[in-house]
Amino acid sequence: MTRYVTLEEQTWQPADVLGLQMDRCLLWEGQHGVFAGFFKMPRGMSIPAHRHPDWVQILVLSGKMQVEEGANTRTIGAGDYYFVEPGDMHVETALEDTLLLVVAEDDRKATRGQPSPF
Task: Give tens-digit pLDDT for 42-56.
Answer: 999 999 999 989 999
**Dihedral Cα 67, 73, 76, 81, nearest 10 deg:** -70
| Rounded mean pLDDT, 93-100 | 98
| Rounded mean pLDDT, 12-29 | 92
At 28, is the pLDDT very low, low, confident or very high (cuts 50, 70, 90)?
A: confident
At 113, is the pLDDT very low, low, confident or very high (cuts 50, 70, 90)?
A: very low
CB crowding 48-83: b at 16 or more within 10 Å, else e: eeeebebebebbbeebbbebeeeeeeeebeeeeebe
Task: Name the pTM for this structure.
Answer: 0.85
> Residue 107's pLDDT is what?
64
Which sign does the torsion angle of CA 113, 36, 58, 45 carry? Answer: negative
CATH assignment of 25-105? 2.60.120.10
Are 18 and 39 in contact by the 8 Å Cβ rule? The answer is: no
**Has residue 110 got a pLDDT over 70?**
no
> Residue 61's pLDDT is what?
98
Q: Could you state, in order of their start, the residue ranges of all structural domains in the chain?
A: 25-105
Q: Fill in the amino acid letter for 23.
A: D
Are 77 and 60 in contact by the 8 Å Cβ rule? The answer is: yes
Which among 78, 35, 76, 70 is positioned nearest to 56, based on CA atoms?
35
